């Protein structure tokens, strides 16, 4: 299938450090592409290029086969590229509906004045959570999101992206701070997004999560592409070997002897 999003030969440097060196990737609708790599491998830098936070010094982005020029994250969101960072970027003191519409609140006129349409926001919040099969009691739906569980908060961030018609969803360590049951629920949500034709780019240190949901794995090491594998044709040992290179091979040899 033709990729919806492509990054070709992306390079970016910060001062004297080359954070990415000629890195390319592509992801298709309904595909989950995992980015794996040790700390400092360039994963976060790459997704910040794709989401419009950083501008590469070399390389090109393409969306639906056409050149993509991003000035900022708003440009990326307007194209349908949504990013959920590890901190979720939720406003803890606001309710679910306010977080879904954050910065894009619907308005209606009352007594000749434009005011925020809060009933519409609450209605959409319930519809979004029902679509994702997330149970949130009505009382908590109207309360601040800080009272919700980690899994529920993750679902709200995903729901916000889906409501705004995300065609590519980038997820940065979505299960890092969750318990096992909530991790499973997030994995179910990713499977659901895949079934809906959303392209998902997943960053995770958890190989169990990666092998449970991804179709392909792209491994970065020290800002370069170390390898790319289909999940069905690889295993955890090979991915770790690609992540750490000769260090892993030397350790395995020393252990064996």
Q: Which domain CATH number covers 210?
A: 3.40.50.300
Angle at 22 between CA 17 and CA 27, to 5 degrees: 120
The confidence score (pLDDT) of residue 62 equals 97
The confidence score (pLDDT) of residue 254 equals 42
Q: Phi and psi of 191, rounded to 5°?
A: -60, -40
Domain count, the chain: 1
The confidence score (pLDDT) of residue 246 equals 64
Are 37 and 43 a contacting pair, CB within 8 Å?
yes
Pairing of β 199-203 and β 32-36: parallel
The confidence score (pLDDT) of residue 54 equals 95
Asked whether residue 100 is domain-assigned, the answer is no
Asked whether residue 158 is domain-assigned, the answer is no
Asked whether residue 104 is domain-assigned, the answer is no
Asked whether residue 210 is domain-assigned, the answer is yes
Asked whether residue 139 is domain-assigned, the answer is no
| Nearest to 203, CA basis, from 39, 66, 5 | 39
Grouping H, G, I as helix, E, B as strand and the rest as coil, residue 42 is: coil
Asked whether residue 173 is domain-assigned, the answer is yes
The confidence score (pLDDT) of residue 164 equals 86
Q: State which residues form the domain around 209.
A: 5-88+166-256
Each residue's pLDDT expressed in tens, for the chain with a length of 257 residues: 799 999 999 999 998 899 999 999 999 999 999 999 998 899 999 999 999 999 999 999 999 999 999 999 999 999 999 998 877 778 889 999 999 998 888 888 888 888 989 889 989 888 888 877 778 888 888 899 999 888 888 888 888 888 888 999 999 988 887 778 888 888 888 998 999 899 999 999 889 999 999 999 999 999 999 999 999 999 999 999 999 986 544 445 444 44
What span, in angstroms and rounded, lies between the C-alpha atoms of 179 and 61?
A: 36
């Amino acid at each position: 299938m033709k990729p919806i999003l492509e990054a070709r030969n992306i390079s970016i440097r910060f001062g004297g450090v080359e954070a990415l060196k000629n890195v390319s990737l592509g992801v298709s609708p309904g595909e989950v592409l995992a980015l794996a790599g040790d700390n400092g491998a360039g994963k976060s830098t790459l997704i910040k290029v794709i989401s419009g936070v950083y501008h590469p010094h070399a390389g090109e982005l393409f969306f639906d086969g056409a050149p993509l020029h991003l000035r900022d994250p708003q440009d990326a969101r307007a194209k349908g590229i949504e990013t959920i960072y590890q901190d979720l970027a939720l406003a803890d003191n606001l309710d679910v509906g306010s977080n879904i519409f954050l910065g894009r609140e619907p308005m209606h006129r009352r007594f000749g004045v434009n005011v925020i349409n809060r009933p519409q926001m609450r209605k959409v919040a319930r519809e979004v959570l029902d679509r994702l099969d997330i149970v949130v009691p009505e009382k908590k739906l109207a309360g601040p999101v800080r009272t919700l569980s980690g899994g529920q908060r993750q679902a709200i961030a995903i729901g916000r992206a889906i409501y705004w018609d995300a065609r590519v969803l980038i997820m940065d360590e979505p299960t890092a701070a969750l318990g096992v049951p909530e991790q499973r629920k997030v994995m179910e949500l990713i499977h659901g997004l895949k079934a809906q034709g959303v392209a998902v780019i997943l960053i995770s240190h958890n190989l169990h999560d990666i092998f449970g949901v991804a179709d392909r794995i792209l491994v970065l090491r020290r800002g370069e592409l170390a390898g790319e594998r289909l999940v069905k044709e690889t295993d955890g040992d090979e991915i770790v070997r690609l992540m750490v290179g000769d260090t892993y091979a030397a350790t395995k040899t020393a252990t064996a002897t």
